[in-house]
Amino acid sequence: MRREHDSDQRVASRNSAGAVRVLLETCTLHAAVKLDIFTLIGKDILTAPEMVRKTGWDSRGLSMLLDALAAMALLNKTPAGYANTQAAADFLSKDSDRYIGYMIQHHHHLADSWIRMDEAVTRSGPIRDRSSVSSEEWREAFLMGMFNNAMAMRRMWRGPWICPGVPGCWIWAAGPAPMPSISAKPTRT
């Protein structure tokens, strides 16, 4: 029985540490997207001092952020500097048509509400002082984030698929470029 208890404690400890790590990585990603680090680097290899010269940011803080992004496998760190990984170039650089940074920024704007969940539980009413569309920055992140989601869904559609619950309905998509159209097609019996 003691061995089971020790094992349960190790699992709980590992899970707690994992949850903290996910939170810290999320905060790191939010900061990097908000600062547009991945677009700044683009296809180049840049050192932290080069980025500081371009941006005027704090050298120590930027170096720590870049190292954290490298540890998360979002940047490649070499003696020559930092470069985007393929995933970062594809999804986190505004130069990519697959950019999802707006959705990440939208989540960043919601994070304070989640962090203050204890207040929501102990008092009546919302804890957020403003809505997702109360400022230009928040509105852009929300609307463009929804657009990012729609475009990602569009790329996933391939056909033909049968529309569940709709007799004779097929969804057809030839590939990522054209939007799917719904057309009646006889069902096979």
Place of tokens 């698929």: 161
Same domain, 31 and 74: yes
Whether 92 and 172 map to the same domain: the answer is no
CA 3 to CA 98: how far, in whole Å?
A: 49
Asked if residues 42 and 51 have their Cβ atoms less than 8 Å apart, the reply is: no
pLDDT at 156: 60
Last residue of a domain, one of 56, 79, 96: 96
Instruction: Quote the domain boundaries for residue 4.
Output: 1-96
User: What is the reported pLDDT for 71?
Assistant: 95
Residues 59 and 90 in one domain: yes
SS3 of 40, please? Answer: helix
CA count, 13 A, side-chain hemisphere, 168: 4
At residue 75, the 3 state secondary structure works out as: strand
- Residues 107, 140, single domain; the answer is yes
Domain count, the chain: 3
Does 126 share its domain with 185? no
Q: Does residue 52 share a domain with residue 1? A: yes
**Whether residue 7 is found in the same domain as residue 86:** yes
Q: Provide the pLDDT for residue 86.
A: 95
152 and 163 together in one domain:
no
Does residue 10 sit in the same domain as residue 79? yes
Task: Provide φ and ψ at 124, rounded to 5°.
Answer: -90, 135
Residues of the chain with pLDDT under 50: 159-189
Clarify whether residues 125 and 139 are in a common domain.
Answer: yes
